[in-house]
């Protein structure tokens, strides 16, 4: 309905702000451009750098295979801890009272070198997780001589969205991460990324440390009252 079609009496009955679609329609822009070069066949990460990244998923229901999985995760972290050109990123995100907390730890040679805390109010879990992933990766990319990065997260399904080039709600966020990863791969043909699933309930040592930190934060939205 257009504002100009309303009678003065009808306008007085409107008690909430509305937008005159007729005036705003020409200023509506798509949040995602499906014709972006990054999404063309042959330009995708899976097309150009398929040998530069890998995913590892935990079988959350089978106790035996889960034990084998975490033994492999222990081994990979032990192996990269001896390598000054490798970094381990550990991410955890939780939501309480509409406040989303995400904490990132980055380890090099078994030492914590970067710690980031990110919190936001009234924002989706996935957006915060993507922001944490982007921040963690960018910080690792900026570290000198890093060629191998292991990302350990309780939200492996969110990481999958970075490589999922079908249209979805978080295309803007994932495209930004996509571009940073591509720069990292182009910088050195040895550069490699691994993504490991680590459910919080399994309490794997290093991830459990980060998980406990996210739970310690008890942030609540600040309500300000006008005098």
Q: Can you list the domains of the chain with their CATH numbers?
A: 37-216 (3.30.420.10)
Q: What's the pLDDT tens digit per position in 71-102?
A: 999 999 999 988 999 999 999 888 777 778 88
Q: What is the pLDDT of residue 198?
A: 92
**CA distances in angstroms from 11 to 2, 19, 143, 161, listed in the order given:** 11, 13, 59, 45
pTM (two decimals): 0.75
Which regions in the chain score pLDDT beneath 50?
1-2, 15-30, 221-227
Asked if 178 contacts 37 with a C-beta cutoff of 8 angstroms, the reply is no
Q: Which residues of 153-176 are buried (b: 16+ CB within 10 A; e: fewer)?
A: bbbbebbebbbebeeeebbebbbe
Half-sphere exposure of 29 (CA within 13 A, CB side): 4
Residue 35 burial by Cβ neighbours in a 10 Å radius (0-12, 13-18, 19+) = exposed
pLDDT for position 140: 94
Which residues touch 170 (CB under 8 Å, ≥6 apart)? 126, 127, 130, 161
Q: What percent of the chain has pLDDT over 90?
A: 30
């Amino acid at each position: 309905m257009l504002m100009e079609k309303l009678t003065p009496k009808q306008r007085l009955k409107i008690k909430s702000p509305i937008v005159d679609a007729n005036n705003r329609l020409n200023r509506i822009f798509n949040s995602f451009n499906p014709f972006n070069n990054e999404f063309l066949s042959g330009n995708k990460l899976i097309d150009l750098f398929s040998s530069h990244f890998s995913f590892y998923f935990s079988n959350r229901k089978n106790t035996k295979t889960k034990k084998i999985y975490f033994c492999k995760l222990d081994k990979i972290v032990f192996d990269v801890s001896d390598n000054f050109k490798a970094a381990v990123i550990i991410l955890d995100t939780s939501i309480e009272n509409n406040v989303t907390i995400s904490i990132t730890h980055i380890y090099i040679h078994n030492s914590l070198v970067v710690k980031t805390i990110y919190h936001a109010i009234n924002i989706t879990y996935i957006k915060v997780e993507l922001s944490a992933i982007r921040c963690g990766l960018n910080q690792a990319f900026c570290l000198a001589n890093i060629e191998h990065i292991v990302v350990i997260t309780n939200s492996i399904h969110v990481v999958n969205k970075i490589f999922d080039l079908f249209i979805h709600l978080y295309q803007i966020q994932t495209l930004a991460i996509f571009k940073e990863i591509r720069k990292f791969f182009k910088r050195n043909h040895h550069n490699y990324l691994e993504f490991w699933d680590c459910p919080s309930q399994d309490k794997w040592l290093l991830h459990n440390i980060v998980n406990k930190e996210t739970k310690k934060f008890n942030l609540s939205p600040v309500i300000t009252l006008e005098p």
